Amino acid sequence: MRDTRDLFSDDSGNYLRFRPTYPKALFEEIFRHTKARDKAWDCATGNGQVASVLASYFKQVMASDISQNQLDSAPSLTNVNYLKSAAETTPFMDDTFDLIAVAQAAHWFNLEDFRKEVVRVGKPNGILAVWGYGLISTEDPINGFIRDFYGNQVGRYWNPERRHLDNEYKHISFGFEEIEVAQNFEIVCSWSLKHLEGYLRTWSAVGNYVLENPDEDPVSLVISKIAPFWEEKTKKEMKFPIYLSISKIPN
């Protein structure tokens, strides 16, 4: 297995092109609980997708990631500052942030060390919003091929941290006061088969598989199984369940 601290540097371009974006309603729910809008931290920002949204609502956004390649793919915005940093140890001053956001990344962290850093750099009664998304789904029989690919073909190549997403983030807790989330959220997008193929190639398990089996291409194999059920040049609706937790940073 590759180092879990940085699994996505080698594929930052495809990550930007093929990973899904988050729905507006998700951010509206988070911002509903964020009264102060001075400074936000997008932790593990990747290519800056979340930081770009936060920039429209906060005076200043700090966006950190351990992957410099990912940061190099992020958009340049006047009120967003990017820096290479681990989630658990940052150069930020104490009591800095009104909002700390972590999208599709908390399962990679040392959770206890990150908790301490949140308490240190978050403002008292500020907001911590943590979310991730689960396995993609569409229509049958394509779902069956995707589930088999996920659980069987590349199943043993997932890093152990992936279990948190399989468990819908239910075992990720920082012991803070939880805020009830108003609704369930999901990502809904319309993709071509080519886009699905590109997305599957961003899976960390696929990267681990190819490292161990450099002469094999597991994605091409599953796409060949799906192709007879996907008319050429058409798009299909794809969905991802989102697991969102919002909590108050303690005093």
Reported as a single tens digit per residue, the pLDDT across 159-173 is: 999 999 999 999 898
**DSSP-assigned states of every residue in 35-102:** ---SEEEEET-TTTHHHHHHTTT-SEEEEEES-HHHHHTSPP-TTEEEEE--SSS--PPSS-EEEEEE
Residue 9: is its pLDDT beyond 60? no
Query: In which band, very low, low, confident or very high, does the pLDDT at 11 lie, cut at 50, 70 and 90?
Result: low
CA-based nearest residue to 42, from 88, 80, 89, 91? 80
Establish if 232 belongs to a structural domain: yes
User: Angle at CA 183, nearest 5°, toward 36 and 151?
Assistant: 110
What the block records as the tokens of 179 is 């805020």
Reported as a single tens digit per residue, the pLDDT across 181-204 is: 989 999 999 999 999 999 999 999
Establish if 2 belongs to a structural domain: no
- Domain region containing 98: 9-248
Q: Please measure the distance between the N-terminal and C-terminal CA atoms of the chain and give it in whole angstroms.
A: 39
Beta carbons within 8 Å of 78's beta carbon, 6+ residues apart: none
Establish if 108 belongs to a structural domain: yes
- Which bin fits 169, alpha (ψ -120 to 50), beta or left (φ > 0)? left
Establish if 122 belongs to a structural domain: yes
What is the CATH number for 26?
A: 3.40.50.150
* Strand pairing class (39-43; 60-65): parallel
201: DSSP letter: T
Neighbouring CB atoms inside 10 A of 149's CB total: 22
Establish if 208 belongs to a structural domain: yes
Average of per-residue pLDDT values in the chain:
93
Structure confidence at residue 13 (pLDDT)? 65
pTM above threshold 0.75: yes
Establish if 1 belongs to a structural domain: no
Work out how many domains the chain is built from and give that number.
1
Establish if 177 belongs to a structural domain: yes
Establish if 3 belongs to a structural domain: no
